[in-house]
Amino acid sequence: MDSPLTLDAPSQLRLEGEGVHLREWSEDDLDALIALYDDPEIARWTPVASPFDPTAAQIYLAEAQEARAQGRKVQLAITTDGGLPRGEVLLFPSKADERDAEIAYGVGAAHRGRGLASRAVRLLSAYALGRTGARRVVLCIEEANAASAAVALRAGFVLTDDEPLLRMSRGREIALRTWSLTGTP
């Protein structure tokens, strides 16, 4: 039987490639977090607080740092040069199968349409498959989220025939389809 994946990444994980730089969030990024996540499309498709104000940003960053310290989740800012965050990509054990690594992502409205999400997902997928012991990387996407499905396709993922995952979000049950990537992206 395969063993669960491990997220014991270096304390300051930085990944570069595909024209993106992924780096840890810092206290200096609070204004950027608000600019990225106080957005109706982010609210529509993610469990991120809405409105996403300074208090929400502080809570979000504190929870991200705590999850990171406990080895439960890695949340990295998507940048093009290591500076200004343009989005975020997350890596965590899949709730459906702890042998799988799940990735989630979001890109700020001002930065969409440039391939940042698909490039960040490919880069983090390569890390997950090469360093965590994951048997596969999965993306869990609501069927109506065409933009996210397009990211999955561009990143080399395929839609699986896994049963949809049912999760509660903002008081409604949503069905998430599983996209999978195995081997080297």
141 lies in some domain:
yes
Q: How many helices (H) and strands (E) does the chain have?
A: 5, 9
The DSSP line for 151-179 is: HHHHTT-EE--PPPEEEEETTEEEEEEEE
Domain that holds residue 167: 17-181
First to last CA, the chain: 24
- pTM score: 0.91
The answer to whether residue 166 is domain-embedded is: yes
Beta strand ranges found along 18-136 (DSSP E): 20-24, 74-79, 87-93, 101-107
**Structural domain count, the chain:** 1
Residue 124 lies in a domain: yes
| Lowest mean pLDDT, pick from 3-12, 52-61, 64-73, 173-182 | 3-12
Task: Supply the CATH number for residue 76's domain.
Answer: 3.40.630.30
Q: Is residue 4 part of a domain?
A: no
Q: Is residue 122 part of a domain?
A: yes
Residue 21 lies in a domain: yes
Is 8 inside a domain boundary? no
CA 120 → CA 56, 99, 166, 181, 184, distances in Å?
24, 22, 26, 14, 15
Give the Cα separation of 29 and 180 in Å (integer).
31
User: Residue 126 has what pLDDT?
Assistant: 96
What is the model's pLDDT at position 185?
44
Is 107 a domain residue? yes
Strand-pairing partners, residue 87, are 78, 107
Q: What is the pLDDT of residue 172?
A: 82
Q: Identify whether the C-beta of residue 136 lies closer than 8 Å to the C-beta of residue 182.
A: yes
Does residue 24 surpass a pLDDT of 70?
Answer: yes
Record the tokens describing residue 172, joined without a space. 């409604």
